[in-house]
Amino acid sequence: MRKYIILFIILVISSCQKAEEPPVTVYQIDKGLEYYLQIFLGEAKQRGIDIKTENLIMAFGKTSTEICGQCDKVANGGQRTVTINNDNFCWKEAPFENREALVFHELGHCLLGRIHRDELLPNGAVISIMNSKGNDPYSPCIYALGGDNTCNKTARRSYYIDELFDMKTPIPAWAK
């Protein structure tokens, strides 16, 4: 009988241990990036996708390598941090479309769980905003020569945003 009482006491003590608490997460968005986050969330909502952002930090800073943006995330719903390099090339002198694509790319990693996708479309354009080659899939023409505006890719934006939220988006007519 004494063995059963000791066993019972051990079971009671071990069952009273504190459950592991979930990690503390933070929501903190740099003012210069909030606008882009809201556009991203609006695009998701238009497609019926609800995205939770309570554990998101977005800030300007130095990335760990020579890249324009970086997403760091902790497994199991932990803290997600987007860092955007605020230098001239990556941000300060980049057109709006390139800034948007950069932020969307990093949010694709952090909020959608997307990985890089480097395939090309039939015309040689990148297939996804999630490519590892650059952040200008729908950039405007910065240096149009002789009045030629064929380098303007802004009309491609809708395809790239659709593909960001749905990898099964059909190849657009402009890419064939």
pLDDT in tens, 39-62: 999 999 999 999 999 899 999 998
pLDDT at 143: 66
Lowest pLDDT segment from 13-27, 53-67, 128-142: 13-27
For residue 127, tell me if it sits in a domain. Answer: yes
Backbone angles phi, psi at 76, to 5 degrees: 60, 45
For residue 16, tell me if it sits in a domain. Answer: no
Lowest pLDDT segment from 76-80, 87-91, 114-118: 76-80
For residue 17, tell me if it sits in a domain. Answer: no
Helix (H) or strand (E) holding 121: none
pLDDT at 148: 53
pLDDT at 25: 74
Q: Do residues 80 and 111 make contact, with C-beta atoms less than 8 angstroms apart?
A: yes
Domain holding 42: CATH number? Answer: 3.40.390
Give the range of the structural domain holding residue 33, as residue numbers without chain letter: 23-175
Question: Mean pLDDT across the chain, nearest whole number?
Answer: 86
Please report, for residues 11, 39, 70, 103, 134, the alpha-carbon distance to residue 43 in angstroms, rounded to integers and kept in the order given. Answer: 52, 6, 21, 13, 21
Domain total in the chain: 1
For residue 5, tell me if it sits in a domain. Answer: no
Report the length, in residues, of the chain: 176
